[in-house]
C-alpha cells in the first residue's frame, strides 16, 4: 500500500508544479522559470525546518512567500519581452538559480553532525516526517490537503473577474489593453501566484524526498511544468491534474518495465495525445 501512497505523493507534488505554470499560461506567456521557484521553495522550507526548527506548515508558507517574491521580482524585467525571448530569459534565470544551489554551502552543527545545503552534494537530513513519526499515508493526506486548497483557489480565481482578465490578456493583448487592462500588472501578478504555488510544491517535495540537490530543479522539471497544463488543457485546473496522472502514472510508472524503450515512447505518446486532443485532455472552455 505504501507504493500507492508514494505514487499519490508524486502526483500531488507534480500537480502543484503544473498549476504554477497553468496560471501563467492563461496570460499567453511561456515561462521556464517554474523549476527555479520550485527549487527556491524547496531549499527555503528545508532550511527552516532543519536549521531553524520550524514547524512544517509555516516553513511551507515561507517557501511559498519567497517563491512568490522572487517570481514578482523576475516578472517585471522578464515580461517586458515576449515569445521566444521570454522563454530564453526565464530559462537563463532557471539555470542561474540551479547553479546557485550547486555552489550554495551553508551548514551548521546540530546533534553532533553538520546539516544544511552542501553545494553539489545537495541538502540531506530533511527528515521532518520520519522524525515526527508520520506514516506514508499521513504524508499523502497532508500533501493532498495543500493540493486541493491550491486547486480550489485557482479554480475560484479562474471564475472570478481576475480570471477573466487573465484569459483576456492571453487571447488578445491589444484588445485587453484598449479597455484599460494594465498588461504588466496582470502578467506579473500571474507570475507571482505561479511562483507561490511552485514554492509551496518545492517545499513539500523537499520534505517527502528528504534529500534535494541542484539537479532536481533542471530544465526537464520546467518542461514538465509546462507540459501538464498544455496536455491537460487550459479550460480548468482539472485538466492539469488529469495530465499529471496520465504522465506520472501511465507513461512513467505504467511503462517502467519497458526500460529505455519508455524514453522513446514517452514523446510519441505525448505527441499522439496532443494530436487527438489539440486543446488538451479537457478541451477548450465553452462560453
Structure confidence by residue, pLDDT tens digits, 196-228: 999 999 999 999 999 999 999 999 899 889 889
Cell of 151: 486547486
> Higher pLDDT residue, 274 or 159?
159
Asked whether residue 237 is domain-assigned, the answer is no
Phi and psi (nearest 5°) for 115? -125, 155
Number of alpha carbons in the 13 Å side-chain half-sphere of residue 186: 23
Asked whether residue 47 is domain-assigned, the answer is yes
Give, as one character, the DSSP assignment of residue 120. Answer: G
Instruction: Please give the pLDDT value at position 113.
Output: 84
Asked whether residue 257 is domain-assigned, the answer is no
3-state secondary structure of 277: coil
Spatial CA neighbour of 147 closest among 60, 215, 42: 60
Q: How far apart are the C-alpha atoms of 265 and 24, rounded to whole Å?
A: 28
- Could you list the residue range(s) of the whole structural domain that residue 29 is in? 2-218
Instruction: Please give the pLDDT value at position 112.
Output: 79
Asked whether residue 158 is domain-assigned, the answer is yes
236-263 pLDDT, tens per residue?
899 899 989 988 888 888 777 777 676 6
Residue with cell 513539500: 204
Instruction: Please give the pLDDT value at position 87.
Output: 87
Instruction: Please give the pLDDT value at position 285.
Output: 56
Instruction: Please give the pLDDT value at position 24.
Output: 93
Instruction: Please give the pLDDT value at position 287.
Output: 43
69-101 pLDDT, tens per residue?
999 999 888 777 777 888 888 999 999 999 999
Asked whether residue 254 is domain-assigned, the answer is no
Asked whether residue 145 is domain-assigned, the answer is yes
Domain count, the chain: 1
Asked whether residue 92 is domain-assigned, the answer is yes
- In terms of pTM, does the model score above 0.75? yes
Please state the separation of Cα 157 from the chain's center in Å: 18
22-43 pLDDT, tens per residue?
999 999 888 899 999 999 999 9
Torsion sign, CA atoms 216, 219, 222, 224? negative
Asked whether the beta carbons of 87 and 30 are under 8 A apart, the reply is yes
Amino acid at each position: 500500500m505504501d507504493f500507492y501512497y508514494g505514487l499519490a505523493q508524486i502526483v500531488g507534488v507534480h500537480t502543484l508544479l503544473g498549476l504554477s505554470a497553468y496560471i501563467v499560461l492563461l496570460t499567453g506567456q511561456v515561462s521556464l522559470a517554474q523549476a527555479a521557484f520550485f527549487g527556491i521553495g524547496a531549499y527555503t522550507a528545508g532550511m527552516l525546518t532543519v536549521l531553524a526548527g520550524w514547524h512544517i506548515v509555516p516553513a511551507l508558507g515561507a517557501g511559498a512567500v519567497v517563491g512568490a517574491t522572487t517570481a514578482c521580482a523576475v516578472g517585471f524585467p522578464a515580461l517586458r519581452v515576449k515569445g521566444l525571448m521570454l522563454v530564453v530569459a526565464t530559462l537563463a534565470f532557471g539555470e542561474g538559480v540551479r547553479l546557485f544551489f550547486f555552489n550554495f554551502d551553508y551548514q551548521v552543527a546540530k546533534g553532533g553532525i553538520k546539516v544544511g545545503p552542501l553545494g553539489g552534494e545537495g541538502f540531506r537530513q530533511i527528515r521532518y516526517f520520519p522524525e515526527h513519526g508520520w506514516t506514508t499515508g499521513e504524508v499523502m493526506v497532508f500533501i493532498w490537503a495543500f493540493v486541493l486548497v491550491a486547486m480550489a483557489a485557482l479554480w475560484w480565481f479562474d471564475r472570478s473577474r481576475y480570471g477573466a482578465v487573465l484569459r483576456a490578456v492571453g487571447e488578445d493583448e491589444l484588445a485587453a489593453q484598449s479597455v484599460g487592462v494594465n498588461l504588466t500588472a496582470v502578467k506579473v501578478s500571474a507570475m507571482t501566484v505561479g511562483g507561490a504555488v511552485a514554492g509551496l510544491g518545492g517545499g513539500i517535495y523537499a520534505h517527502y524526498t528528504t534529500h534535494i540537490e541542484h539537479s532536481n530543479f533542471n530544465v526537464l522539471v520546467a518542461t514538465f511544468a509546462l507540459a501538464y497544463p498544455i496536455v491537460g488543457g487550459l479550460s480548468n485546473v482539472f485538466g492539469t491534474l488529469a495530465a499529471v496522472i496520465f504522465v506520472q502514472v501511465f507513461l512513467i510508472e505504467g511503462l517502467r518495465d519497458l526500460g529505455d524503450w519508455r524514453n522513446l515512447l514517452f514523446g510519441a505518446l505525448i505527441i499522439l495525445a496532443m494530436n487527438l486532443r489539440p486543446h488538451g485532455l479537457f478541451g477548450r472552455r465553452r462560453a
